[in-house]
Structure 1
C-alpha cells in the first residue's frame, strides 16, 4: 500500500511536471518569437521552491504541482518602463496575442502526436487480442453464430484483428474501439477476426457484428468482458507465480515469485488456468497448497479472499502467472512502422482520441453521459503510479492521452482558461475593439467558479471511486 502511494506521487509529479512544462513552453516560445518579454516561467503555483535567472526570465518550480504559468511584461499588471513598452503583451496586435495564447494548447496536441509517432516507430510487442466464447447466448455468441459450428465452440480461440475497420494490436485497441462505439451510441461494432491465433499474420479473416447497445457507459462497476460473454484466451501455462501482491492471501501463505503450484488439497494442478478455475470457485476457502521452490517441495495453508464481480463472488489468491517467453512469443505481435507510416498512424490515433473526447464532453453537457466520468488529481495520480510501474510504453501512452486532454480542456471557451482568452480575441478581431475591462473581470469570476466547481466534482468522483474500491 505504501509503495503504491509513493509510486502514485512520483508518477503524478513527473507526468504533470512534463505536461505543464510543455504547455507553458508553447506560450513562452511564441511570445519570445514575437519579442514579448517573459518575466517569469513557473512550473507549479504558490511559493517558489527553486528559482534560476536566465537572461531576463526567472525560471522557477513552485510548491503546488497542479499547473503553471508564464508571466509576460504587461501594463495591466503595473507600470512599464517606456523603453520596454513595445515588448509588453498588451501592446501586441490581437493576432499576436491570439497566437501566443493558442500555442500552449496547440503544443500539447502536437506533443501527443509526437509520442504516438515515437511509440509506433520503436515498435512494442504486446499480447494479441485473443478470446474464447465464455457464455452461450451472450452478445459474443450472437456475433459468432453466422460462423456455424466454429462460432459455437467454447474451445475455439479467436484473434481480433480490427475494430470497425481499424487495425488493433492488443486489448487496448479493442477497448478503445468499444468505448468509441459506446460514446457514438452505435448499436454494434464490427470485429474482424481470425482463427489463426499462432500465426504471425492472419491467413483468413471474417467480419462479425458485435451487439453493444445493452452496455451502460455510466456503469463503472461492470465487467465488460463478462457482460459481452467472452474470456481472454491464454495459452496453457504452468502454475508458476510471477508477481505476488502485497498483503494478499498468497503472500500471507509465504508464497513467492518463482514458486510452482503442484497440488491443491492433494489434487494435482496441471496448468495456471486449472488453478485459476479452482480459486474462482472457492471464495473464502482454506486449502493446503503444495508448491516447488528451488527443486524442493513445500506445503502451506492459504485462505482465499472473496471478491465480488458483477454480483458473483469469486475467490482470489493475489498472484500473477509467470509467462515463459518461449511460449508467449507466438501469441504476441509487434506494431513497428516506418517513419512516414508511424506519422500517419499517430495522426489517426490523435484525431480519433480528440473526436472521442469532444463527443464525450458534448454528451456530458447534454446529460447523456454522467459527470461521474470526470477524473481529478487523485485518479490521475493513481493511473500515473500504475503506468510508471507497468513500463515506459504504458507511461508514454498515458502521457499522450493526458496531453490531449490538457490541450482540449484549455481550448474550451471558459474564462480563465486559454480558450476564454481566445474567445475575447476573436470578438476583438470581429468588432475591431477589445471586450470591456468590466466584462472581462466579471467573466473571470464566473470562470473561476466554474473551474472550482468542476475541480470539486472531479475530486469527489475520485474519492467515490476510492471508497468503492
Structure 2
C-alpha cells in the first residue's frame, strides 16, 4: 500500500484536498438538513460540472472542474425569489410562499443559521480527531523516548559520527564536558560547534569511551551559504502503544487541540515578524508537501491529512467576510443589535473580504513558487 500511495505522486494532494472539502461541506449540509433548510447544491470544486446526480430531496450532488474548494448552496437568501418565465424566458421576482419560507436559510432563527455556518469548520476538527484516534488504535500513539536511557537510534553511513566510530545504542553523556540529557541538547551542541572537532563522552555496554568528531555543514545549508551542522546520528527509535477507542478519542482530541494552538502561535509569530513568511503555505506548497509525505507511506499521509483538516477548519473560522468566521461575526453583531446588518454593509464587507483573500492567495502562491527547488 505504501508503494502505491507513493506512486500516485502529486495526485495525492487532489485526493486529500477534495476529501477535506467534502468533510467541511458535509458538516454544513447535515446541520442545514437538521435545521430544516432545503439544500439545492452540494459541489466539490467550482466551474463546469463533471459529474452529478439529484437525490430525492432535490439536492444536486456534483463534482466540478476546478478542485480548489467546494460549496453548499442553500435555498432562500432574501424575501423574494427570482424565477424565469416559461413562455418568454424573462426573469421575474416574486415573494416567497409560506412553504418556501419554512425551508429558507435566511428565515431560520439566528441560532440555527450560526450552527449551519459553524458546522463546516467543526466537521474538520472532528475529522482530525477521528483520523488521529484511528491511527492511535491501529498503529499506536507515539510514546516519548528517553535519550539517556535508549541512546543513539541510528548512525548515517559516511557521516562524521560514522567515521568517529559511533554505534546505535551509544549513550552520549557529554560534549566537551557539557552534560547531555536530551537529544535536543545534543542537537544544540552540534549546531553551536561551528564545525570544530568535539569530544564526546559515551557509555557503551557498561564502558565509558571518548570519541572525537567534527560536525559537517548540511548539504542544503552549504549550497545556500548557511551555517547548519550535522553529526549524523538520530534519536531513539520511537515506540508506539495502541489505545482503546475511548483513550484514542481522548488522545486525538488532545492532539488536535495542541496542533491548533501551535498553528495559532505560528500565525502570531508571522504577524509580529518573529517568523518568516516563507513558513506560510498555499496550494503549491500543499501539493509539494503532500507528494513528499506520501513517499513516506500511507500512515504519514493520513497524519498530514489530519493536520491539513485542522488548518482548514481554523482558517475558515477567521473573522474575514466570505469565510465562515466572517458570517459568524455578522451573526454576533446581529445578536447584540437585535437585527441583521444592512445588506449594503454586508455587500461592501464581502467585497473587501474577497479582495483580501485573493491578495493573500496570490502572495502565498508567488511565495510558494519562488521557494520551489530549481
**Normalising TM by the smaller chain, what interval?**
0.7 to 0.9
CA distance in structure 1 between the aligned counterparts of 2:41 and 2:6, rounded to whole angstroms: 32
Q: 1:111, CA displacement in angstroms?
A: 0.7
2:55 aligned partner: 54
2:14 aligned partner: 13
Secondary structure of 1:42's aligned partner = strand
**For the structure 1 residues 418 and 312, does the alpha-carbon distance in structure 2 shift closer, same or farther, using more than 3 Å as the test?**
closer
Q: How does 1:230-249 map to 2 (within 5 A)?
A: none
Match of 2:295 among 369, 377, 389: 389
CA distance in structure 2 between the aligned counterparts of 1:306 and 1:457, rounded to whole angstroms: 26
Match of 1:345 among 218, 231, 251: 251
2:109 aligned partner: 93
Unaligned 5+ runs, structure 1:
137-146, 159-190, 194-208, 213-223, 231-276, 284-304, 315-329
CA distance in structure 2 between the aligned counterparts of 1:36 and 1:309, rounded to whole angstroms: 57
Offset from partner CA, 1:103-126 (integer Å, 9 cap, x none):
000010111111111111112598
Q: 1:334, CA displacement in angstroms?
A: 2.2
1:112 aligned partner: 128
CA distance in structure 1 between the aligned counterparts of 2:327 and 2:255, rounded to whole angstroms: 28
1:78 aligned partner: 81
Secondary structure of 1:47's aligned partner = strand
Q: 1:306, CA displacement in angstroms?
A: 12
Contact kept? 1:121, 1:339, Cα under 8 Å: yes
CA distance in structure 1 between the aligned counterparts of 2:125 and 2:311, rounded to whole angstroms: 8
- 1:64 corresponds to 2:78: no
Q: 1:366, CA displacement in angstroms?
A: 2.7
2:191 aligned partner: 227
Q: 1:365, CA displacement in angstroms?
A: 2.4
Further displaced range: 416-425 or 332-341: 332-341
CA distance in structure 2 between the aligned counterparts of 1:226 and 1:35, rounded to whole angstroms: 62
For these two proteins, the number of residue pairs brought into alignment is 310
Secondary structure of 1:151's aligned partner = strand
Secondary structure of 2:269's aligned partner = helix
1:167 aligned partner: none
Secondary structure of 2:64's aligned partner = strand
TM-score (norm: length of structure 1):
0.58
1:453 aligned partner: 359
**For the structure 1 residues 361 and 437, does the alpha-carbon distance in structure 2 shift closer, same or farther, using more than 3 Å as the test?**
same
Further displaced range: 344-353 or 93-102: 344-353
Q: What RMSD, in angstroms, separates the aligned Cα atoms of the two structures?
A: 3.9
CA distance in structure 2 between the aligned counterparts of 1:53 and 1:366, rounded to whole angstroms: 48
**For the structure 1 residues 462 and 117, does the alpha-carbon distance in structure 2 shift closer, same or farther, using more than 3 Å as the test?**
same
CA distance in structure 2 between the aligned counterparts of 1:125 and 1:412, rounded to whole angstroms: 31
Contact kept? 1:7, 1:389, Cα under 8 Å: no
CA distance in structure 1 between the aligned counterparts of 2:228 and 2:256, rounded to whole angstroms: 39
- 1:419 corresponds to 2:334: no
